[in-house]
Amino acid sequence: MKIKFAISTLLVALLLIGCGGKTEKKDDGFSVERTKSSEKVEQKAPETNEVPASQRITLDNKGVGQIKNITLDPEINQEMATTGGELFKTNCTACHKTDRRFIGPKMQGILERRSPEWVMNMILDPQLMVEEDRCAKDLLVEFNGAAMANQNLTVEQTRALLEYFRTL
């Protein structure tokens, strides 16, 4: 008997849920208890002591890949930066804005957070970086699993991009 009762209660409950779902509401949306991932990054303190990857400062980390050591001239090479700016427009803007987070992180201030070597390695072989570099891996998770595309740029082109980032 108890079982039968339980089943019928369940059926009634299901029926109710079913009926409830059918009513058309003209709301602009709906709300449930949840946090948007983008807000979480900027507003909510991480559960661990760890800073979100996008805000971490990892200037000592050169990343993984062919770029081992880069020395930057104190002066920005304007010609190189212009080339880099053009390359940025065609190869990067689909996912990166200079001044705000888009699909990937914003580029302003990138060199205050990452080493030049790390930046270049990330551009040259994002897949390897995501596999072997902790920060790159965490960024992938933080940015919703949107893997950075390898745009098949040469070292020279990548260096130009780096110079462009210095101007931002």
Q: Do 166 and 111 contact (CB within 8 A), yes or no?
A: yes
Say whether residue 41 binds another protein (CB under 8 A). no
Near another protein in 67-106, by CB under 8 A: 89-91, 93-95, 102-103
Using the rule CB under 8 A, which residue among 20, 21, 74, 145 binds another protein?
145
Say whether residue 167 binds another protein (CB under 8 A). no
Say whether residue 153 binds another protein (CB under 8 A). yes
Helix, coil or strand: residue 114: strand
State the number of binding residues for another protein (CB under 8 A). 17
Phi and psi of 58, rounded to 5°? -125, 45
By beta-carbon proximity to another protein, the closer residue of 115 and 119 is 119
Q: Do 65 and 145 contact (CB within 8 A), yes or no?
A: no
Contacts of 118 (CB under 8 A, 6+ apart): 58, 61, 62, 63, 133, 135
Q: How far is the CB of 92 from another protein (least distance, A)?
A: 9
**Structure token pair of residue 117:** 């070597």
Say whether residue 44 binds another protein (CB under 8 A). no
In angstroms, the CA 127 to CA 155 distance is 16
Q: How far is the CB of 98 from another protein (least distance, A)?
A: 12
Which parts of this chain interact with another protein (CB under 8 A)? Answer: 89-91, 93-95, 102-103, 144-147, 149-153
